[in-house]
Amino acid sequence: MIVSIITNINHIQITIGDLMNKLMEFLQKTVEILIVEDEMVLAIDMESSLEEMGYEISGIESTAQDAIKHVNENKPDIVIMDINLKGYKSGLEAAKEIWQTHKIPIIFLTSYSDDLTVKKSMESEPYAYLIKPCREKDIDIAIKTALHKHNYFFKNKNLMSEQIVIDLAQNYKYDRTKRVLSKGLDSIKLTGNELKFFDILSENPKESVSFEQIISYIYRDESLSDMGKLRTLVYRLRAKLNAEVFENVYEFGYRLKLD
C-alpha cells in the first residue's frame, strides 16, 4: 500500500515525494562561497583549500564595495570576510550591509581579536569569527555549522507569503511576517534580539523552546555561556511590556502565552 501525505501551503499541493526531491536537491547542491580578502596570496591559497573540500568559489574580492556588488549580482551561499580591506570601507561595513540586505551567512576570518573589533562585528550577526592563521578543518567546520544553522532557522522564510498573526495573552499580537508586536493599534518598539526572541518562540507557538535553541538563534552560540544575556533580555522585555505574553518552562526554556 502506498501512503501519500499531502500538505497544503498557500493553496499549493506538496506531496512527500516533492519534499524528498527538494531535500535531495539541497544536499546535492554545490555550496558557493565568496572570499573577501585583500592579500591575494592568502585568497588564492584559501580558494584552493576550499575547492579541495568540495566547495565552489563564487569569486574573490579585495574591497568592501566589490564584495557588496558581487553579492548583489551572484548571491553566494556564504561569505568568508576579512576585516581590514583595501578602500574606504571595512569588512565590518560590507558584512553588515550584506547581512541586512540578503541574509547571507557571514564568517569572519581575520587577524583582529581585540574586544572592540569583535563587538563591532556582532552587528552583522556572523555565524563564526575565526582568527588567522586558521586550520582548514576549522574553516570547514565553521562553514558546515553556519549553513546548518542558517537553513534551520530560515527554512520557512520563503513559505511565509501571507500574513501570520499570533494572538497572545493580554490583547497582544505578534505578526510573524512583518515582525511586529502590537497591542491594539499601538506597535511596540523592540530591539533586534527581542524580535529574534519572539521569532523563535512563534515558529511553533504552542510548543516550548529550549534555552539552548533560543541562545543559539539569538547569539549564534550553542553553549549556555550566554544564559546571563538571555535572562537580562527576558527581564528587560517583561519590564517593557508590563505583561506576561510568554512564560518560563521550568528548567527547559520559554513558550508563548496564547490568548
Of 46, 138, 48, 123, residue with least CA distance to 91? 123
pLDDT of residue 32: 94
CATH topology of domain 27-153: Rossmann fold (3.40.50)
pLDDT of residue 181: 94
**207-243 tens-digit pLDDT:** 999 998 898 888 875 555 678 889 999 999 999 999 9
pLDDT of residue 163: 57
Query: Would you state the cell numbers that stand for residue 61, as one nine-digit string?
Result: 574580492
pLDDT-based confidence at 93, cuts 50/70/90?
A: very high
**Any idea which residue has 520563503 for its cell?**
158
Strands (E), 1-85: 6-9, 12-15, 32-36, 56-61, 78-81
Query: Would you state the cell numbers that stand for residue 249, as one nine-digit string?
Result: 518552562
pLDDT of residue 123: 83
Enumerate the CATH 3.40.50.2300 domain ranges in the chain, comma separated.
27-153
From the DSSP assignment, how many helices (H) and strands (E) are in the chain? 9, 14
pLDDT of residue 19: 45
pLDDT, average across residues 179-204 = 91
Peptide bond into 133 cis (omega under 30): yes
Inform me whether the pLDDT recorded for 12 exceeds 80: no
Query: Would you state the cell numbers that stand for residue 34, as one nine-digit string?
Result: 565568496
Kindly report the CATH class assigned to 161-256.
Answer: mainly alpha
Query: Would you state the cell numbers that stand for residue 98, as one nine-digit string?
Result: 550584506
**95-119 tens-digit pLDDT:** 999 998 888 999 999 998 888 888 8
pLDDT of residue 224: 55
The more confidently predicted of residues 81 and 218 is: 81
Of 197, 210, 214, residue with least CA distance to 250? 210
The more confidently predicted of residues 123 and 12 is: 123
pLDDT of residue 156: 53
Is pTM beyond 0.85? Reply is: no
Enumerate the CATH 1.10.10.10 domain ranges in the chain, comma separated.
161-256
pLDDT of residue 100: 85
pLDDT of residue 87: 86
Of 70, 218, 220, residue with least CA distance to 146? 220
pLDDT-based confidence at 246, cuts 50/70/90?
A: very high
In one-letter notation, the amino acid at residue 217 is Y
Inform me whether the pLDDT recorded for 155 exceeds 80: no
* Cα 140 to Cα 131: distance, rounded to the nearest angstrom: 14
Q: How far, in Å, are 3, 33, 99, 159, 186 from residue 143 at the CA level?
A: 37, 9, 16, 25, 41
pLDDT, average across residues 175-203 = 90
pLDDT of residue 2: 32
Of 158, 246, 156, residue with least CA distance to 197? 246
